[in-house]
Each structure stands twice: as structure tokens, then as C-alpha cells.
Chains A and B, each alone.
Chain A
Amino acid sequence: MTANLPFLLSALVAVWATFMVVTRAVAIHALLYLVVALLALACVFDVLGAPFAAILEVIVYAGAIMVLFVFVVMMLNLGRPDSLRENTWIAPRIWIGPGLLAALLLAALADALVMAAPGGGRIAVIDTRQVGLALYGPYVLMVELASFLLLAGLVSAFRIGRHIRDEDAP
């Protein structure tokens, strides 16, 4: 059981930080907790024998995407009235129904896991070389499709995020 300690610790930190993300009223606090959750998840990936996924999680998720969120929070310039309104939006009675639904989903998933346990097996580290061979071998079409997706995201973000004032006078 002691060999399992890194996984258990990271999993505990991930779940706790995720719970804090969902329950915070101030956006930047939730964002910082989300970064902690992502770093803990990167540790979980590393324990599961996926070091490349762990590094990508840190660089792309905790690095790039979270910085995007932080910039948006800075640009929105949310102040004290916003956090006060947020506090009224997350009153305790609102949590009952969704909490029951989420608990039901979790119970169903856990029950399915208990009924059909995926079995054990030794953890083999799958290194970057194997991932790269798979990525540019059988999955090369998906790489192209992902580039389409990223280009579409770039173009639509550029189009949506343009200055409004520029088009007021057509």
C-alpha cells in the first residue's frame, strides 16, 4: 500500500482542489485552485506511466490554457459587486438538486467499475517515442483533423474577439 502513496496523495489533492474550484465565489481563486488540480493530475499521469502526457498537462493545460483564463479574468476586471452577486448565486439550497444528480452519476460509474473491474497488471512506462510512433503512424489523419480544429478555433476566436467599435460605422 505504501508504494501507492504518490497516486493516493495526488488523487486527494486533485479531488480537493477541484471541489474548491467548483465552490469558490471569486474567479481568480478558483483559477489558482484549478492550476493546483491540473498539476496534481499531471502527477497522477506520471504515476500511471505516461510521462509525456504529464509534461503536456503542465505545459499546455496549467501553462497555456490557464494563462488564457487569467488574462480574461484580468480583462473582465471583476470587482467586489461581482463576488457578492456570485455569493447569492451559489446559495446552499441551489446545490441540493445538482449535487444529488452528480452523486447519482458517480454512484452509477463506481458501481459499473465494481461490477466490471478492468483488472490489474504491471505499470509499463509508455515513453515519448512510442507515443510519437503511434501519433504519426496510424493516427496521422487525426493529427491533420486536430490542426483543422485548432485553425477553426483560431479563426473564430479572432473573428468573435475583434473590436466592436471598428464595425459600428460600416
Chain B
Amino acid sequence: MTATPAQALLLASMLFALGLLGVLVRRNLLFMLMSIEIMLNAAALAFVAAGMRWHAADGQVMFMMILALAAAEAAVGLAILLRLHAAGRPTLDADTGNRLKG
């Protein structure tokens, strides 16, 4: 017996739930970005599992699209983070993000 799509989807759900937990609990913007990466990875795993189930390459194509999305998201998110830090904000608390100016 080898790995089944159901097991892979269960793993994807667990990773997604953990990422969601991270986004909900953490107040540090850096950790929230990392949790979003975890959730994107879980979605990519679901796509790959579906591609394995149907013996189609479409799942891996979607994985590459998610990869591009994650790269763009990380670049913009980290740039905003650095901007907040450079503006003299002493903390990475997400609740102070509404004071972003300029």
C-alpha cells in the first residue's frame, strides 16, 4: 500500500489548519507572513495530490502558479514590513499597521 490521495489531502488540511492558527494567534507581522506561506503550501499540496489522483500534469502546473504567487506575496509583504520598520516603528505589531503613512 502506498500513499493515497486521501492521506495527502488530510496532510494538506492539517498544514492549512496550522497556518490558519498561526495567522489568528500571532501579532508579529513576520510570523503572519510565514503562516500565510504555510497555508499557500498546503493548497499547493492539495493540487499536487489531485494531480496524482487523476494522473494529470495540471496539478503541478497549478503548483507553479502558487509558487509565483507566493514569491510575489512574500516580496511585497516583506517590503512593507521593512518600510514599517524604517519609518521608526519599534515593533512589528500588526495592530499598529493602520498608522502607515507615506
Contacts and interface: CB of A to CB of B under 8 A. Distances in A.
Interface of A: 1, 3-4, 7, 11, 14-15, 18-19, 21-22, 27, 30-31, 34, 37-38, 41, 44-45, 47-50, 52-53, 56, 60-61, 64-65, 68-69, 72-73, 75-76, 78, 82, 85-86, 89-90, 94-95, 97-99, 101-103, 105-106, 109-110, 113, 117-124, 126, 130-131, 133-135, 139, 142, 146, 149-150, 152-154, 156-158, 160-161, 164
B55 interface: yes
Prevailing SS type, chain A contact patch: helix
Contacts of A106: 13-14, 17
Given A18-B38, A38-B41, A61-B67, A85 B91 contact: yes
Nearest to A160: B79
Contacts, number: 236
Prevailing SS type, chain B contact patch: helix
B64 A98 contact: no
A5 to B, nearest CB: 10
A158 B3 CA distance: 43
Interface of B: 1-11, 13-22, 24-28, 30-31, 33-35, 37-38, 41, 44-45, 48-53, 55-61, 63-65, 67-76, 78-83, 85-87, 91-92, 102
A164 B17 CA distance: 38
B87 A102 contact: no
B96 to A, nearest CB: 13
A134 to B, nearest CB: 4
A56 to B, nearest CB: 6
A41 B45 contact: yes
A120 B4 contact: yes
B57 A90 contact: no
